[in-house]
A and B are shown apart, each in its own frame.
Chain A
């Protein structure tokens, strides 16, 4: 590594050595310098250059710190924006719920006026339970999924991901669950459970651990769910990786109505 050897042995600028050699062979007149001007001018020049160097260091330091501050400020602003928008969504959700309730009561009042209408109302009530159109209550299970202790690194085996929630929800539906909510977000056939960044989104709302999956279903829901492959897999991972997985039976669970019931493509068939 001749380059490294050269760098370390000749670290001093060769210019100084050569200038010193020149001085030794041809001494300059006292009172003048190599710059050909008086000693004072030369000193001033050196001082100016050193001043420039100092200003350069200070500028660089200030720019670095300012950049860090700006990044911190941006982050704070973004968090404030997220909080603001989330609370706005919550308020909109509340007014949506209220409006939907008044629509439903107005509809049932109108329908119950006639015999055929009350038949339809009964049908609608039945369908609303399945589609998530209204809040429901009944006996069921609560499955609690949680990250293992200290598993905060992305890619860690002890972390809960979107596919874990998907697997448990699928297994619950397959075991006969009629209505499911994840952390209070009711699921419909169109609800997305997905991951964006490191956050799990259910119905496009970010959730944080622990994840409580409430399911209303038949009395044997617990036995059927526990005998699924998914449940035995998570019981195993609970032991191996410390993943939080707990199933509790509830006499009565209340699930809210789904926030998002917009259908984009499917059209109802005309009134027969």
Chain B
């Protein structure tokens, strides 16, 4: 309940305040978003599985976002930035999908 509220408040704040992303960080925003989505879906599934752990969530969220951005940064420096972004998006996307499928099984038993 509190978690959902916090998420909603975050969205509203983001919409109202229009925080500007520094130009240097803009390439990492999509990757950070996908990583954050992955962490949120993972947490949701863990809650439904009954094994949610706040420490794991906080650490995995921060680490996911940072590591994803770091991989893309490294790729940019090595000249394979867009390819690595695609790789990150594909891997995290598959994970989001299978977590969403697990959540669906929990909710609808189907």
Contact = CB atoms under 8 A, between A and B. Distances in A.
28 contacts: A7-B91, A7-B98, A8-B94, A11-B95, A11-B99, A12-B46, A13-B39, A16-B49, A16-B52, A19-B53, A20-B51, A35-B58, A46-B6, A47-B5, A48-B6, A50-B10, A51-B10, A52-B10, A53-B10, A54-B9, A54-B13, A55-B10, A57-B14, A57-B37, A58-B13, A58-B14, A62-B14, A63-B29
B89 to A, nearest CB: 13
A10 B107 CA distance: 19
Q: Which of A4, A8, A23 has the most CB of B within 10 A?
A: A8
B46 A42 contact: no
Size band of the A side of the interface?
Answer: 35 or more
Contacts of A20: 51, 53
Given A12-B42, A43-B2, A57-B33, A34 B21 contact: no
Given A11-B94, A13-B39, A46-B58, 14 more contacts: A11-B99, A12-B42, A16-B49, A17-B51, A20-B51, A34-B53, A35-B55, A48-B6, A51-B7, A53-B61, A54-B14, A57-B36, A62-B15, A63-B29
Contact of B39 (A48, A53, A60, A63): A53
A212 B100 CA distance: 61
B55 to A, nearest CB: 4
A15 interface: yes
A55 B10 CA distance: 4
A59 B29 contact: yes
- 6 cross-chain pairs, A with B, having the tightest CB-CB distances, nearest first: A54-B10, A58-B14, A11-B98, A51-B10, A20-B51, A47-B6
A51 B40 CA distance: 11
A20 B38 CA distance: 20
* Count class of interface residues, chain B: 35 or more
A228 interface: no
B18 A62 contact: yes
B52 A63 contact: no
A49 B55 contact: no
Interface of A: 4, 7-8, 11-13, 15-17, 19-20, 23, 33-35, 42-43, 45-63
Contacts of B94: 4, 7-8, 11
Nearest to B16: A58
Interface string B14-33: 11001101000010011011
Contact of B36 (A15, A43, A53, A63): A53
Interface in B40-66: 40, 42, 45-46, 49, 51-62, 65
B74 interface: no
Contacts of B6: 46-48, 50-51, 54
Contacts of B29: 56, 59-60, 63
Contacts of B7: 50-51, 53-54
Contacts of B10: 50-58
B110 interface: no
Nearest to A54: B10
B11 interface: yes
